[in-house]
Amino acid sequence: MWWVIWILLLVASGVYLGMRVRGLWGHAKRCGSELAAAQRSLEQVQGQLEILGERLAAPQDLAIFAGPVTARIRRNRAKADSRRARRLRRAVSRPAWAKDID
């Protein structure tokens, strides 16, 4: 009689472990599909980046590796250039009566 109880315990634990392993397998498959989707979107973004030509030549070009004074000077120059470009764009699109005469 005791051997029937032991067999039932083994079968029940086998069923329980099987259910857990099956759930783990489902999680692993979902994780793999998410990883594949992330890889596809990363490849797409990298493709767009190559098309736009915005690759940095070297890591030294990053502001993090530059000195604080150099980074500030570059930032101020870029800011002034963007302000100048914006001013020119706005001047072109401004109506004739609002343009500066001088």
pLDDT tens string 50-102:
766 655 556 666 767 778 888 889 899 999 999 999 998 988 888 878 777 76
Whole-number Cα distances in Å, 80 to 57, 83, 85: 24, 5, 9
Per-residue model confidence (pLDDT) at position 94: 83
| Contact partners, residue 56, CB within 8 Å, separation at least 6 | 62
Length of the chain: 102
Per-residue model confidence (pLDDT) at position 48: 77
Work out the number of other CB atoms within 10 angstroms of the CB of residue 39: 10
Averaged pLDDT, 15-34: 93
